[in-house]
Amino acid sequence: MTEVVTVGVIGGSGLYNLDGIQIVKEHNLETPFGKPSAPVVEASLGGASFFFLPRHGKDHQFLPHEVNYRANIYALKSLGVQNLVSVSAVGSLKEELPPTTMVMPDQFIDWTKGGRQRTFFGEGIVGHVSVANPIEKGLQDLLVEACQSADVSHSRGGSYICIEGPQFSTRAESEIYRSFGASVIGMTNVPESFLAKEAGMAYATIAMVTDYDCWKEEHCTVDEIMKVMATNGVAANKILNILIPLIHEKPFTFQKENTFAILTPDEKLTSTQKEILAVLKS
């Protein structure tokens, strides 16, 4: 392949494989932060190249708090990924966002418990990036265009609240999150989105609604949720089949938030730390 691959897709619950792709190679990587969730698949779709990584592993063996987010993001960046699309299953916190809606949030609320490794910095590297705007608008614009072309129900904007899991919310918690004005609830996009910022990536999310969390006076069986997830998976495949070539056709520029993030003088960094930062800033 002569084309430079810049697009990455991280698939979540309900999206482990993509239809219609031609697999070029599997990259079995080891990073300074450990192994990613699975080998990274290099593939082609509609003539456009990209990388795909199942967030929870090939056999869905990792709970949200067990995912090695740092290794996942670092592995993708080391392979050249600049534009990263996250696909995730979520619960809806708003009546107007029913199951099977594809939501593209523009904000995140971190409600995890502090046990996740959420930065590439530390241990001698002092750095700070802004996550004021965690979603890259240019990439989100293309997500919206792809949803429209795929003719799937979608909604742009709103906040994704990320909880620790693996348990779902209590009803009282669900009502608290609704009082925040959050639109959807999930367990994976933090610290993933923040790490993408530290890695200088453009990041955007397709949040696939499976149910109304537990605030609504309805009870969903696992079988019902699985049926919705299957429907969402089909819709996500349609979107990505349009989106991946579209990103190549309509490249956009964005500000890398990590450009001036590091405060530690270069001469104080070890050779390993310099190598890590070289990948993150590439």
Selected catalytic residue, list 19, 211, 223, 266: 211
Contact between 51 and 1 (Cβ < 8 Å): no
How buried is 174 (Cβ within 10 angstroms: 0-12 exposed, 13-18 middle, 19+ buried)? Answer: buried
CA neighbor of 79 nearest in space, from 28, 23, 149: 28
Is beta strand 22-27 parallel, antiparallel or unpaired with respect to 40-45?
A: antiparallel
H or E segment to which residue 174 belongs:
helix 171-179
Query: What are the tokens at 244?
Result: 């991946």
CA neighbor of 24 nearest in space, from 5, 4, 43, 52: 43
211 is catalytic: yes
Bridge partners, 209 (sequence order): 90
Helix axis angle for 222-249 and 137-150, nearest 10°, is 110
141 is catalytic: no
DSSP type of residue 97? S
CA neighbor of 201 nearest in space, from 141, 252, 142: 252
Selected catalytic residue, list 19, 151, 213, 223: 213
The residues annotated as belonging to the active site are: 211, 213
